[in-house]
Structure 1
Amino acid sequence: MLSLSSLTALVQVVLIDITLAGDNAIVVGLAVRKLETKQRRIAVFIGVAAAALIRLGLALIATQLLGIIGLRFAGGLLLLWVCWKMYRELQTSEDHDGDSNPTSGGLRSAITRIIIADLSMSLDNVLAVAGAAGEHIWVLVSGLAISILLMAFAATMIARLLERFRWIAWIGLLVVFGVAVELVYKGGGEVLGQFS
Structure 2
Amino acid sequence: MESLDLWPQLVALGKVVAIDLVLAGDNAIVVGMAAAAVPLAQRRKVIFWGIAAAIVLRIFFALITTQLLAIIGLTLAGGVLLLWVCWKMYRELSTHGRDEVAPDEALEAPDVPAAGGAGAVGTGAAVAAGATTVGAAIWQIVVADVSMSLDNVLAVAGAAKDHPTILVIGLVLSVVLMGAAANMIAHLLHKHRWIGWVGLAIITYVALDMIWRGSREVLQHTAWLFQGA
Asked if 1 retains the 8 angstrom alpha-carbon contact of 2:82 and 2:151, the reply is yes
Cα distance, 1:21–1:173 mapped onto 2, change above 3 Å:
closer
Asked if 2 retains the 8 angstrom alpha-carbon contact of 1:51 and 1:119, the reply is yes
Cα distance, 1:82–1:47 mapped onto 2, change above 3 Å:
farther
User: In 1, Cα distance between the equivalents of 2:211 and 2:16?
Assistant: 25
Q: Which residue of 1 aligns with 2:59?
A: 52
Q: Which residue of 2 aligns with 1:39?
A: 46
Code of the aligned partner of 2:155:
D
Residue 150 (structure 1) aligned with residue 181 (structure 2): no
Secondary structure at 2:132 match in 1: coil
Give the number of equivalent residue pairs. Answer: 175
Q: Which residue of 2 aligns with 1:124?
A: 155
Asked if 1 retains the 8 angstrom alpha-carbon contact of 2:55 and 2:178, the reply is yes
Q: Which residue of 2 aligns with 1:186?
A: 209
TM-score by length of 2: 0.53
Q: 1:1-35: CA deviations, max 9, x gaps?
A: xxxxxxx9xx9798775443202212211111231
Q: For residue 187 of structure 1, report the CA deviation from its aligned partner.
A: 4.1
The answer to which structure has the higher helix fraction is 1
Q: For residue 110 of structure 1, report the CA deviation from its aligned partner.
A: 2.0
Code of the aligned partner of 2:57:
A
Code of the aligned partner of 2:150:
L
Larger displacement relative to structure 2 (12-21 or 22-31): 12-21
Identical counterparts, % of pairs: 14
Greater relative contact order structure (CA < 8 Å, 6+ sep): 1
Q: Which residue of 2 aligns with 1:79?
A: 85
User: In 2, Cα distance between the equivalents of 1:149 and 1:77?
Assistant: 25
Q: 1:45-99: CA deviations, max 9, x gaps?
A: 11110111012111x33663687562343322452576599799x77779x9951
TM-score by length of 1: 0.59
Asked if 2 retains the 8 angstrom alpha-carbon contact of 1:86 and 1:173, the reply is no
Q: 1:145-188: CA deviations, max 9, x gaps?
A: 343112322213235x38xx9x5597787667556644553344
